[in-house]
Structure 1
Amino acid sequence: MKKNSLSVASFNLILYAAQQRGADYTTLCEKVGLTPEMLQDPDARLPIKKVQVLWKEAVEMTGDKHLALHLGESINTVAVGILAYVMMHCPTLDKALEKLCQYQDIVCDGSKTTVFIQNDLVYVTLTQISDEMLYPQYAFESELSIYHAAMEGMIGKDLPLKSVHFNYPAYSDSSEYQRVFQTQEVVFESNFTGIVFEKKYFHLPIINANPNLFPLFDKHAQSILEGLNQDNSFKEKVKKEILDGLKGEEPSLFNVSRSLGIGLRSLQMKLKEEGVTFQQLLDEIRKNLALQHLQESHLSTTDIAYLLGYSEPSVFFRSFKKWTGYTPNVYRKNPKMVA
C-alpha cells in the first residue's frame, strides 16, 4: 500500500464540504497543486501531505475554523464509498464497527481506529500513525463527526454520547463540539481521542441491512485492500505477519516464514537486502504498539506486555527502557518525552 495516503473519494468529501461553505473549487484545487482531472478516479490515492494543505487552505477560504467538525453534517456518509456499503449491510452496529477497523486503510492509512468496551461503555478511539499528519485535529474531528453521523444513520435513531475526547489542547470553547456531538462532556488534553457511548447501543440492528448484499461488498472491500497491499515491500509483508501473530505470544521467524511460504534463510536474505533484520522489525512494531497502548488508560502494563507477546512483564519493561530510556510507567505519566 502507498503509505501516508488518503483515497481521492475522501479528498473530494473535504472539497465538497468546503464548497458548501463558500470556497471556490478550482481555486482550492490550484492552491493544493491538483487539477480537477486528477480527482476523477475515486479509487486513486493522494499523499496525506496534500490533504494537510487542503485542510489549511479550506479553513482559511471558508473562514470556518470548525470545518472538520462540520464534515459529518455536510455530507452523505454513503459517499465514503465501499467501506460505508460494507458497514450499512452488517447485521448490527458492533459488526459494522468491526468492519470499520478492518477496512479503514481503504479510506486513509494515517490513523488507526480501535473499538473496545470498558465498564459497560463503548470506546471508539483514534490514534495517529502518520508523521505526515501535521494537523491531526482536522483528521480526528472530521473522522469522529462522520463516525457519529454514520452510526446514527445506520441504527435509525439518535446515538447519545457520554463524552468526546481529544488528546490535544482546545483551540476554541467547547460549545460547537457540544452542539455537533450532542453531549456536554467534551474533554481536551485527554489521554485519548475518541467518542464514548453506552454498551446498550452496541448491538442494535442496522436498519435496511441486506444480508445478501453484505458478502458482495465485503468481498469487494477485501480485494481493494489486497490490491493496495500489492505494492508493499517484502519488509512490509513480514511486518504484517508479525502484527497478525502478536496474539499473546512472540511471532517466531519460523511461523512467519511458513505463513509467507518461504524458507527461513530466504526470508532472512530478503530482509537483509532491504537493510533490516527480523528482530529489528519485531522491536519496531512492539515499540510503536507499546507507545500507543500506554496512552490507553484501560490497559495495565501487564496487559500490554501480553498484547506484545512477552511471556513476562519484566521482559517488556527491560525492552521498553532499552528503546526509549524510560520505564513504561514513567512514559505513561509524560508521553511527550518520547519523540
Structure 2
Amino acid sequence: MGTTDDTLSSGSFNLILHAARQHGADSLELCKTVGVDPAVLQDPDGRVPIRAVQALWHEAIRQTGEPDLPLQLGELINTLSLGVLAYVMMHCPNLGKAIEKLCQYQDIACEGVLTTGQVVGERFFISLKLTSSAIVYPDYTLTSEFSVYQSAFRALIGLPVAAEEIRFGFPEPSNRAAYERVFGATKLVFDAAETVMILDAEWLGKPVMNANPGLFPLFEQHARELLLKLRQPDLSFRVKQEIIALLKGEEPTLALVADRLAMGVRTLQLHLKETGVTYQQLLDDVRRNLAIQHLREPYFSTTDIAYLLGFSEPSVFYRTFKKWTGSTPGAYRQQTIAAGRA
C-alpha cells in the first residue's frame, strides 16, 4: 500500500476542476477549500497530493449538487488533454500499445491507482487496484478512472469502444441507472472481488488515428524522465529498507533485493545509476550506520555485530569498518564510551 504522500498530476486535478466548473462550481473557491495553490496548477509537470484530490471530489460534489460528477468525468473533459501520458498514447500504433503505455506510465497521472492489462483468451482485462492510503473515496476514484478510460479509448481510435463487462469493487450505488447510461449495454457488477473492465481483445489491434511514429520517442522520453523523478526520492530508501530487512547473518544480494522490489536486476541497477548511487554504496551505507549504532550499545560483541551485518568473518568486518572510519570496531567503541563519560 502506498502512503498519504502519493500525488496526482496538476493536469488531472485541472480536469476535475474543469468538470466541476461546467456544473457551476467556482474553481478558485474549490482550490482554497482543499488547500491547493492555483499557481501549482499552472505547471504542466506539477504535482498535487492525492489527499487534496479526494477532498476536491467531496467538495465539488457538495458545491455542484451533482453526485454523478466522477461518473461523468470522461464526458465533461477532453480525455486527450491529460498531458504527456496522453501524448504518448496518441502516437502509439494501435489501442493495445496505447493501453500498454497507460499501464507503464500510470503514476504520472496518478500514483494512487495501479492499472494492469492482461489478455485472457479472446478478452482483455484492464484491472484497477488502489495503492494509496490517501484514497478515502474509492468509488469516486475507480468510477472516474473507467469513465476517462472509456472516453480516451474512443477518442484514440474514433470508434465506440464499449466493454463487455465492468466489475466494481464497491457496493452497488443508488445511481445505478447513471452507470448504465455512461457505460451503455455493458454488464455491470458491483461488490466484486476486483475492479476490472473487460473488452473484446479485437479492440487492441485497432489503429490509433493520426498517430505520428516520429513524435512517439520524444513524448515517451519525457514520460520516462517524469516517472524517474517521481520514483527517485523513494528508490534508494526502499532499497535500504530491504537491505535492513534481509541482514540476517548473510549479505543480501542485489538479485534478492530486486526480486523483493518486483524489479529486474538490470532495471534496478539502471535506476540506481540514474540517481547517482550503486547498490554496493547503499549496502555499505546501511552496514556502516548499523555498525556505528550497534557499537554504541553494550549488548553486542564485535563478533555479534559482524554476523548481524552479514560479514563472512569478523576479520572482514574489522578491516571494512577501519576503512569506513579510520578506527577498528573496538577502538571506536572505546572512544564512544569515553566521550559519553566526558
Is this a same-fold pair by TM over 0.5? yes
- Tell me the SS of whatever aligns to 2:69: coil
Residue 50 of structure 1: aligned partner: 52
Count of equivalent residues: 273
Report how far residue 229 of structure 1 moved. Answer: 2.6
Which amino acid in the other structure matches residue 268 of structure 1?
L
Residue 339 of structure 2: aligned partner: none
Residue 22 of structure 2: aligned partner: 20
Greater Cα offset, 70-79 or 174-183? 174-183
Residues 264 and 223 of structure 1: CA distance in aligned 2, closer, same or farther (over 3 Å): closer
Report how far residue 152 of structure 1 moved. Answer: 0.8
Q: Deviations over 1:95-119 (max 9, x none)?
A: 0011001111111110100001113
- Tell me the SS of whatever aligns to 1:69: helix
1:267 aligns with 2:269: no
Residue 85 of structure 2: aligned partner: 83
Report how far residue 266 of structure 1 moved. Answer: 3.9
Q: TM-score, normalised by structure 1?
A: 0.72
Q: Deviations over 1:167-191 (max 9, x none)?
A: 1102214211111111241110111
Residues 260 and 198 of structure 1: CA distance in aligned 2, closer, same or farther (over 3 Å): same
- Tell me the SS of whatever aligns to 1:206: coil
Report how far residue 208 of structure 1 moved. Answer: 0.8
1:138 aligns with 2:153: no
- What pairs up with 1:143-222 in 2 under 5 angstroms? 143-222=145-224
- Check the 8 A contact 2:6/2:112 in 1, yes or no: yes
Residues 203 and 173 of structure 1: CA distance in aligned 2, closer, same or farther (over 3 Å): same
Percentage identity across paired residues of the two chains: 40
- Tell me the SS of whatever aligns to 2:210: coil
- What pairs up with 1:277-288 in 2 under 5 angstroms? none
Give the distance between the partners of 2:57 and 2:199, measured in 1 at CA: 28
Give the distance between the partners of 1:123 and 1:271, measured in 2 at CA: 41
- What pairs up with 1:220-259 in 2 under 5 angstroms? 220-232=222-234, 234-236=236-238, 245-246=258-259
User: Where in structure 1 are there 5+ consecutive unaligned residues?
Assistant: 276-339
Residue 7 of structure 1: aligned partner: 9
- Tell me the SS of whatever aligns to 1:164: strand
Q: Deviations over 1:264-283 (max 9, x none)?
A: 764334346898xxxxxxxx
Residues 143 and 202 of structure 1: CA distance in aligned 2, closer, same or farther (over 3 Å): same
Give the distance between the partners of 2:256 and 2:164, measured in 1 at CA: 32
Residue 34 of structure 1: aligned partner: 36
Q: TM-score, normalised by structure 2?
A: 0.72
- Tell me the SS of whatever aligns to 1:232: helix
Q: Deviations over 1:184-214 (max 9, x none)?
A: 4111011111211111111111111111111
- Check the 8 A contact 2:235/2:272 in 1, yes or no: no
Residue 73 of structure 1: aligned partner: 75
Which amino acid in the other structure matches residue 21 of structure 2?
Q
- Check the 8 A contact 2:164/2:187 in 1, yes or no: yes
Give the distance between the partners of 2:118 and 2:72, measured in 1 at CA: 26
- Check the 8 A contact 1:111/1:127 in 2, yes or no: yes
Give the distance between the partners of 1:33 and 1:136, measured in 2 at CA: 21
- Tell me the SS of whatever aligns to 1:6: strand
User: Where in structure 2 are there 5+ consecutive unaligned residues?
Assistant: 243-253, 291-342
Residue 61 of structure 2: aligned partner: 59
